[in-house]
Amino acid sequence: MKIAKGAKTWLSGVKFLLRRFSLLFLVMLTFGLMLLAKADNLVFQFGKKVAVEVLVPTMYVLFTPISGFFSFVDEVKEVASLREMNQQLKEENQRLSRIKAKLHNLEIENQRLTELLNYKKPPDTKSVAARVIIDPAGAFAQSLVVMAGENDGISKGDVVMTGEGLVGRVAYVTPNVSQILLLSDFNSRVPVFVGDKEYRAILAGNNTEKLRLIAFPDKAEINVGDKVITSGDGGVFPFGLIVGYVHSKKDDVISVLPSADRSRLEFVSIINFGLKGILEDVKCKE
């Protein structure tokens, strides 16, 4: 009887302490979780994978009707401008036909030169199209989540693009879900070439629409409208992917507008260029 009473008192003491120092306890718990994440603890990683695998598809199912409604509105708008679009597409088709003929000649020329130089081709690329299901749009982080993962052949570090240009890279992948770190994220750094003279620079995200150009040569003549493409340095992104255009230049602050419109990212291509780069050693933000 005495033991039971003692245990009861002890339990209420613990309860009191927990209630009194609840916030402190949660702060400690947070730091514990962060340490586990940093240490790449296996159990923790498994727990995170399970959480992502459960939460993301749940969200997808829950919000499909809402996304469907917005797609429907977009489709209605498209139908309204069908005639105009048809004319534009005809012109585009003619332009593409000319480019196709040119490409065919270039391909033949390239093949001959390749044979001549005994050039070793880079490995073939593998591409997966995926639908964007989460666009968190936070002020603290810029990322996307797509409903395709390891089971579809996606791996960490794969390049994410749209027809308009580079979007980002895969930062975290589970069997059915991938998280993409966008170019606009604060942690994103992409080695690029700027303009026709191909000045080397680094494109840095700052959680806003426009990206910052840093580490460019002092005497670089960079102008508004200059094209920005990946340089391939570091081996994370291949050479020549379109990133965007120089949008403004004030003293030494140069901002770049990405080619891929963030608000229209419904589908993306996730491409494995066979590059591992620095990602094998450096962990992505998780």
Partner 1 sequence: MNADSLDSLKKVFANAMVLLWVIFLVFLVCVPWGISNLAFVTPQIALIAVFYFSVYKEEYFGLLSAFFCGLVADVVLVMPLGSNALAYALLFFLSDRLRRFIAGKPFYITWIEFSILTLLVLLFQWLFVSLIYKQFISLTPIMISLALLVPCYPLVARVCYAISKIAMEEEK
Q: Taking CB under 8 A as the criterion, which residues in 42-61 touch partner 1?
A: 48, 51-52, 55-56, 59
Q: Which of 74, 109, 198, 221 binds partner 1 (CB under 8 A)?
A: 74
Q: Based on CB atoms, which residue is closest to partner 1, 144 or 192?
A: 144
Tokens at residue 231, please?
Answer: 């340089």
Buried b (16+ CB within 10 A) or exposed e, 86-116: eeeeeeeeeeeeeeeeeeeeeeeeeeeeeee
Q: Taking CB under 8 A as the criterion, which residues in 191-220 touch partner 1?
A: 206-209
Q: Based on CB atoms, which residue is closest to partner 1, 18 or 99?
A: 18
State the nearest-atom distance from the C-beta of 64 to partner 1, in Å: 10
Q: Based on CB atoms, which residue is closest to partner 1, 26 or 113?
A: 26
> Is residue 141 a contact residue for partner 1 (CB under 8 A)?
yes
Q: Which of 130, 133, 243, 256 binds partner 1 (CB under 8 A)?
A: 133
Polymer length of the chain: 286
State the nearest-atom distance from the C-beta of 142 to partner 1, in Å: 7
Give Cα 191 to chain centroid, integer Å. Answer: 15
Q: Based on CB atoms, which residue is closest to partner 1, 1 or 139?
A: 139
Q: State which amino acid sits at residue 4.
A: A
SS3 251: coil
> Is residue 270 a contact residue for partner 1 (CB under 8 A)?
no
**3-state per-residue secondary structure call for 206-247:** CCCCCEEEECCCCCCCCCCCCEEEECCHHHCCCCCCEEEEEE
Q: Residue 277 carries which DSSP code? A: G
Q: Taking CB under 8 A as the criterion, which residues in 147-186 touch partner 1?
A: 171-172, 179, 184, 186
Q: Taking CB under 8 A as the criterion, which residues in 4-43 touch partner 1?
A: 22-23, 26-27, 29-31, 33-34, 37
Q: Which of 130, 134, 160, 201 binds partner 1 (CB under 8 A)?
A: 134
State the nearest-atom distance from the C-beta of 80 to partner 1, in Å: 17
State the nearest-atom distance from the C-beta of 11 to partner 1, in Å: 18
Element (H, E) at 100: helix 82-117
Q: Taking CB under 8 A as the criterion, which residues in 217-256 touch partner 1?
A: none
Q: Based on CB atoms, which residue is closest to partner 1, 3 or 76?
A: 76
Count the alpha carbons within 13 Å of 263 in the hemisphere toward its beta carbon: 4
Q: How many other C-beta atoms are found inside a 10 Å radius of the C-beta of residue 74?
A: 12
Gap between the Cα atoms of 128 and 273, Å rounded? 12
State the nearest-atom distance from the C-beta of 85 to partner 1, in Å: 18
What would you report as the CA-atom Rg of the chain, rounded to the nearest whole angstrom?
Answer: 25
> Is residue 132 a contact residue for partner 1 (CB under 8 A)?
yes
Q: Which of 40, 107, 261, 280 binds partner 1 (CB under 8 A)?
A: 261
**267 - beta bridge partners?**
131
Gap between the Cα atoms of 238 and 101, Å rounded? 26
Count the alpha carbons within 13 Å of 173 in the hemisphere toward its beta carbon: 16
Contact 144, 132 (CB under 8 A): yes
Contact positions vs partner 1 (CB under 8 A): 22-23, 26-27, 29-31, 33-34, 37, 48, 51-52, 55-56, 59, 62-63, 66-67, 70, 74, 132-143, 145, 171-172, 179, 184, 186-187, 206-209, 261-266, 285-286
